[in-house]
Structure formats: C-alpha cells, structure tokens
Amino acid sequence: MKKVILIIGIFLPLSVFAQEAKEIVTKAENLLKGEKTSYSEMSMQIVRPKYTRTLEFKSWAETYGNSMTLITAPAKEKGQSFMKMGNNMWSWNPTIQRLIKMPPSMMSQGWMGSDFTNDDVLKESSLVRDFTHKIVGNEIVSGEQCYKIELMAIENADVVWDKVLIWISKNDYFEMKMEFYDEDGELVKTHTSDDIKTFDDRKLPSVMTIIPADQPQNKTIVTIKNIKFNVAINGNFFSQQNMKVVK
C-alpha cells in the first residue's frame, strides 16, 4: 500500500502542474481574445533600417474559431481582407478583384511585409488546444511577476511553432513576453508587451513589439486602439461574400 501511495505522490503533482499551466494560459488567452468573441481596431508600424510604414486594420474573431481582418489604411492597401473559416483561409484584394485561398504553408510568413505572421492575424493555431503546457519557472518581466510556461506542440497538430515560451503575469494574466521556436529548436521571434490600459471591461497591455531573431534590427509594433469583447457577430458574417464588402 505504501508503494502505491508513493507512486501516486510522484505522478500526481506532474498532472496537477500541467493542468494549472493550461488553466493559466487559458485565462491569459481569454483575457486577450474574449471568452466568446472580440472586435478590435489596431495600428501596425513596420520598422526597417531604411524605412518605416504604418498600417491600420480591424479584426473580428470568435475565440478559437473563425476570424476576419480588414485593412483600413493606408489608401493603397485599404479594403484588403483576410479570413479564416474552419480550416480554410482566404485573402481578398479589391484592386485586382481576386480572392485567393491561402495554403497552410503561408501561416509562418510575414503578414503584409511585417514580422507579424499570417498565423498571428488569422489565429489558426491555439495556444490552449494545440500545445502541452508546463510551468518551468518564475521571472519578472517589465516589472510584473510572471509564470514562465513552456508550450510544446502536440503531435500532428497543425501549428507553425514547435515550442513557445510564454511569460504570464501572476496578478492579471497578461501575456508579457513570448518566444517562438521552430522544429530545430531555434528561436525565430520574440513578442514583448507593455503600456497597460483599460479596454471595455478589462485591462490589457496595449502595445506589442515583435523582433525577429535573425534580423534584430527589424521590428513590428502593434498598438491596440480599441477592443471590445464578447460582442454579437452575425452568423453569416464570416463568408467570402462579406470579405468583399465588410467595412
């Protein structure tokens, strides 16, 4: 009987810690994405050694479901839209009147020439659903006491990243920092968050900076201008036809 108790004592903490890690990631994701849906307005500054350009866009999303993003500025890109519905993804370019189905291989590519990937925008993968979770430490990031959690891709999951390290604040469940690794274990990019503001019914970091590991002189800065959570989204909203007329 003592041996049985000892075995349970060895393995139970591992499962408990894994569940706790998953719950922390879930709370952080729901805080950022909304428990059911979200609508956001953002700007994105793409910084390169020889130039800087800015985009503005709107996004509608169902948490762990469909999503649509519309570029609203500048005029040259205005009206372009991107949609994920189920396992399918499309882009619409009004200038050439062309609807393109995006293959999964495009998810790791930079969106609109930025360090923000198509997967970041269309939210194809889920940090909750597609990864295992383990607390690997505690660290301070930008003055916030954080859980350091390791996420490993589940076998056969349709994801861009093999491993993600995420630092989530203990008090408010803010995603303060994220590191994304490829299948060879190489760091690809880092996200950092700051400038806490109140949006709708919650506080969130309002600025995210993305820096590619192989080109540290480059960066993309995404700023939340407005965001609302658990908003009503019409059942017919996510459609190819709406991609062409959404405003």
Calpha distance 24→147 (Å, rounded): 9
Calpha distance 218→30 (Å, rounded): 30
Q: Is 117 part of any domain?
A: yes
Calpha distance 200→129 (Å, rounded): 26
Token pair of 167 as six digits: 């630092």
Q: Is 107 part of any domain?
A: yes
Q: Pseudo-torsion of CA 215, 196, 119, 185, nearest 10°? A: 50
Paired strand residues for 46 = 53, 220
* Host H or E run for residue 196: strand 187-199
Q: Is 44 part of any domain?
A: yes
Range of 235's domain?
12-243
Per-residue pLDDT at 2: 40
Contact indicator for 193, 208 with CB cutoff of 8 Å = yes
Q: Is 86 part of any domain?
A: yes
Q: Where are the beta strands (DSSP E) in 28-130?
A: 37-48, 51-62, 67-73, 81-85, 88-93, 98-101
Contact indicator for 69, 122 with CB cutoff of 8 Å = yes
Domain count, the chain: 1
Q: CB neighbours (10 Å) of residue 29?
A: 22
User: What's the predicted TM-score (pTM) here?
Assistant: 0.88
Q: Is 39 part of any domain?
A: yes
The residue to which tokens 């590991």 are assigned: 213
Give tens-digit pLDDT for 77-135.
999 999 999 878 999 999 999 999 998 888 888 999 999 988 888 876 789 999 999 99
Question: In this structure, what DSSP letter does residue 117 have?
Answer: B
Q: Is 3 part of any domain?
A: no
Q: Is 80 part of any domain?
A: yes
Give tens-digit pLDDT for 187-227.
999 999 999 999 998 999 999 999 999 999 999 999 999 99
φ, ψ at 28 (rounded to 5°)? -65, -40
Q: What is the CATH number of the domain that holds 57?
A: 2.50.20.10
Q: CB neighbours (10 Å) of residue 242?
A: 16
Give tens-digit pLDDT for 8-64.
344 444 444 577 999 999 999 999 989 899 999 999 999 999 999 999 999 999 988
